[in-house]
Amino acid sequence: MIERRPLAGLGHASHDWLDTWHHFSFAGYHDPERMGWGRLRVWNDDEIAAGAGFPPHPHADMEIITYVREGAISHEDSLGNRGRTVAGDVQVMSAGSGIRHAEYNAESEPTRIFQIWIIPDARGGTPSWGTRPFPRGERSGRLVTLASGHDGDGEALPIRADARVLAATLAAGEEVRHALGPGRHAYLAPARGTVEVNGSRIGTRDGAAIRDEAELRIRAVEDAEVVLVDSR
């Protein structure tokens, strides 16, 4: 089953400093049919104006992954962590028992991100934050695991959930494959470009909710960059 979710049909909110599209119920957007997908709870497509951002606010019991599509995001939190994550790279915050953080666009141009929240396997725990580069060239023609709750996933940033966040950059005509285990859920969105997933066409920033597919065949119709969450 592959359900295409066009960008124009997602929840949307526009503020002076933030233009955001919600793949799932979030803030003022509520759809009882879109409360999550497996362990995936939130997928927001955010454009943050230059010099603006999310002021300090709290979280608990959530794995929050930020995939930077364009620009850069600057992070600071109540643990004393500070960092800047640039386009193509990823940061992960495990909120655990509780953390306060702020995310700002300190750049001179808009920053565009996918903000992905995954429900952890257990509540509580010591909060943490980390970031690392994932050069787009190293993802050329193959899916790379960016964040993972599984042992043996190399240099992927750790999360506390039975889930993986993966990405690939594909030239037009290239195809990658991903095995989807029984009972698992996949959610995919192209950061740019159009792809076909088992023959279903998914455009730039559309979503695709997937289950009961043993293998995903992701083929680029044009040069594309895709992000995929595989979760229980």
pLDDT of res. 205 = 98
- According to the 3-state scheme, what is the secondary structure of 61-77? CCEEEEEEEECEEEEEE
The predicted model gives 7-11 an average pLDDT of 98
**Taking a C-beta distance cutoff of 8 angstroms, is the pair 18, 55 a contact?**
no
pLDDT of res. 130 = 98
Residues in the chain: 232
What's the whole-number average pLDDT of the chain?
98
Which residues does 121 contact at the CB level (< 8 Å), separation at least 6? 149, 160, 161, 162
Handedness of CA 30, 36, 41, 42 (dihedral sign): negative
DSSP annotation of 170: E
Which residues does 151 contact at the CB level (< 8 Å), separation at least 6? none
Per residue in 47-61, pLDDT (tens digit) is 999 999 999 999 999
Per residue in 159-177, pLDDT (tens digit) is 999 999 999 999 999 999 9
Fold that domain 2-123+134-231 belongs to in CATH: Jelly Rolls (2.60.120)
How far is 176 from 103, CA to CA, in rounded Å?
A: 33
Per residue in 88-143, pLDDT (tens digit) is 999 999 999 999 999 999 999 999 999 999 999 999 999 999 999 998 888 999 99
Instruction: Tell me the H-state helices in 67-205.
Output: none
% pLDDT > 90, the chain: 98
pLDDT of res. 31 = 98
DSSP annotation of 37: B
pLDDT at 194 over 90: yes
CA 54, 60, 61, 65: dihedral to nearest 10 degrees? Answer: 20
pLDDT of res. 136 = 87
The ranges assigned to domains in the chain are 2-123+134-231
